[in-house]
Amino acid sequence: MADQAKRKPHQGETPGDRPPPEGLVQLTQDVLQLFMQRIADGVARTGVSAIDTHTLQQIADNFARADDPILRKTLSRGWTRLEAEAEQAFWARMRKFPLERLIVSRFEDRLTPRDAAPILGRNLSRRVIPATIAALHQMVGPDLFDEYERRARDLAETVRTVEGDGAAWKTLYRHPQADALVNDILVYIARYFADAPKRRQWMVGFMDRNLPSTKTEAERAWRFGDAEFHLLIGGLYAALKAQLADPAHRARHVKRYGEEAVLMVEETLAALEHDRRQVAGA
């Protein structure tokens, strides 16, 4: 999947001409193979060398309704593989756009493990990743976000030149400039969270419209609600909040952003904490 994400279209090629995802190809082959097997089973039951149209229609109807238990398992397995490939493609994009990866690292500990189902109110579905980036992009604005992206890409390239591909990401996550870059964004957007209930309602609606769809039962049972908003935003701001609680670190932030901006962030964090308690006690 990563190779397909890197692949450039040939001249004159349209998106419809590009190879489909491997998972979709495999799912199609598995379904067709099962369909042919069911036809063969029908022939074997009749004891003749051909199958009548009525029996064939019954087989097709069962497929259309997904009544066949093996078909249901095949579709579920195929969907899981497609979701995994979509996430792999997203992370391949993150290698090209490292700012997104740095942002996600701030709340990655609140995401559900890759092979586990999300639990409502306890952790975040991994489907929130692209929707969160889209929300931040909207709050920051395209021009400024692109500038942050350029700075992150330049920093990633510098670290990669020194460390090599293998160790680059671990070093980048701990790099002071990477920490400052993400903090720059969080300080900038803090003004939007000053009215925490209003921003929470906006964010819940935004996520509802922008979360990728799913067909798994566990994912369908999960939704982005008020508690999930605080899981996400609390994770995003956790490191900055801890830094501001340390006088020496706070002084460095005042030097970088100014006292007024730092006070605004602290007031926003207090408003978010108050709203979190209100939501938890509701």
Residues 176 and 252 in one domain: yes
With beta carbons less than 8 A apart as the criterion, state whether 185 and 140 touch: yes
Model-level pTM?
0.67
89 and 106 share a domain? no
Where does the pLDDT of residue 13 fall: very low under 50, low under 70, confident under 90, or very high at 90 and above? very low
Please name the amino acid found at residue 1.
Answer: M
| 197 and 67 part of one domain | no
Tell whether 90 and 161 lie within a shared domain.
Answer: no
Residue finishing a domain among 73, 95, 117: 95
Regarding whether 90 and 133 lie in a shared domain, the answer is no
Contacts 24+ apart (CB under 8 A), 259-268: 261/187, 262/187, 264/190, 264/191, 264/194, 265/186, 265/187, 265/190, 265/240, 267/194, 268/190, 268/191, 268/193, 268/194, 268/196
Q: Residue 96 — pLDDT band, cuts 50, 70, 90? A: confident
- pLDDT classification of 19: cutoffs 50, 70, 90: low
- 183, 204: one domain: yes
Count of structural domains within the chain? 2
Does 49 share its domain with 150?
no
> Does residue 88 contact residue 1 with C-beta atoms inside 8 Å?
yes
Query: Residue length, the chain?
Result: 282
What is the band of 4 on the pLDDT scale with cuts at 50, 70, 90? very low
In terms of domains, do 127 and 208 share one?
Answer: yes
Q: What is the pLDDT of residue 171?
A: 82
Q: Tell me 258's DSSP state.
A: -
Could you tell me if 59 and 130 lie in one domain? no
pLDDT at residue number 10? 42
Q: Are residues 81 and 114 in the same domain?
A: no
Residue 172: exposed, middle, or buried by beta-carbon count in 10 A (0-12, 13-18, 19+)? buried
Domain interval for residue 64:
1-95
- The H or E element spanning position 13 is none
| Mean pLDDT of all residues in 227-254 | 97
